[in-house]
Amino acid sequence: MENYRDLPLELFEKAEVNLDEKEHIAKPSLTAFQDGWIRLKKNKAAVVSLFILILIFLFAVFGPIFSSYDYAKTDYHHTFQLPSREHIFGTDQFGRDQFARIWYGTRISLLIAFAAACLDIFVGVTYGAVSALAGGKVDAVMQRIIEILVGIPSLIIIILLMMVMPAGIGTIIIAMSITGWVNMARLVRAQILKLKSQEFVLAARILGTNSRKIILKHLIPNTMGVIVINTMFTIPSAIFTEAFLSFIGIGLSEPRASLGVLINNGYQVLHNFPHLLIYPAIVIVLIMVCFSILGDGLRDALDPRMRK
């Protein structure tokens, strides 16, 4: 092939470029979350799951408010009624309206799950960030503490604490948060270990930025993808744990309702009145499955390796 340097200059034409367009950006810049949202919308299953979760959340918040029946009000003249126009989901053994109780129970279960997830985020992110940034002996000691907690079955810790403390929403949240933050801390630590040697962190250190500002302004914002994805899997896990505790009788107690309490009540009369179990079971299954699908969709949307 002939060397282009030997070609005559007459064959080349000077490109005419408008000076105003030299620095022109043809496409608006997007943040990581804006780019992730655009790609998430392409995942039909994740979008449908998000829509279902929003509907469930709205029913949980406003369903009991607009219902003409109170979730705890008993009516012994209308016990074990089948679903009808008056009682959409029927009534239980005390004549209480199941529609109001299911959505009130969903509200309580979501409240417990979101509160536990927030505590997991606060403790886990802080612990993991400090451990990774400190390094050395501090990191070694903090990781040994995590290994000890991981070695103890979390369900045993939760059950023992529930047996010692009085049953209630606060007790369940505290019990689930004792070990729930461990996985978040390990993921955040691993991510920050990759980031702390990057140029932008080294530049911040050279400019005299203290460790607290480096964590809050540089490291944690760059780990938000990991935090969001892990939270999407933490919430359904907390809902399942609460339902299990209430099902075995050490969670919430009557007349309060949660999805676990309702499933336990329905299980006791399953052969004669299966609708008392079916409806709350459908709600908890929808929550678990939709959060799982949405978590997978967010993982793909926020993963830099998936960007084209």
Cα(298)–Cα(53) distance, integer angstroms: 14
pLDDT score at 268? 87
Place 287 in a pLDDT band, splitting at 50, 70 and 90.
very high
Torsion angles phi and psi, residue 115, rounded to 5: -65, -45
Q: Can you give the pTM of this predicted structure?
A: 0.79
Distance of CA 284 to CAs 83, 236, 279, 280, Å? 19, 9, 9, 6
pLDDT score at 25? 53
Q: Which of 295, 280, 214, 302 is nearest to 45 (CA)?
A: 295
> Is residue 175 a contact partner of residue 162, using CB atoms and an 8 Å limit?
yes
Reduced to 3 states (helix: H, G, I; strand: E, B; else coil), residue 97 is strand
304 pLDDT exceeds 60? no
If one compares 121 and 154, the residue with the highest pLDDT of the two is 121
Distance of CA 99 to CAs 10, 60, 102, 269, 273, Å? 83, 10, 5, 18, 15
pLDDT tens sequence across 166-220: 777 888 888 888 888 898 999 889 888 888 777 877 787 777 777 777 777 777 7
pLDDT tens sequence across 124-158: 988 988 888 888 888 899 999 998 888 878 778 87
CA angle 122, 123, 128 (to 5 degrees): 105
Average pLDDT, the chain: 82
CA angle 239, 242, 246 (to 5 degrees): 140
Q: Which residues of 209-242 are buried (b: 16+ CB within 10 A; e: fewer)?
A: eeeeebbeebbbebbebbbbbbbbbbbbbbbbbb
pLDDT score at 13? 58
pLDDT tens sequence across 15-61: 555 555 545 555 566 665 667 777 888 889 999 999 999 999 999 99
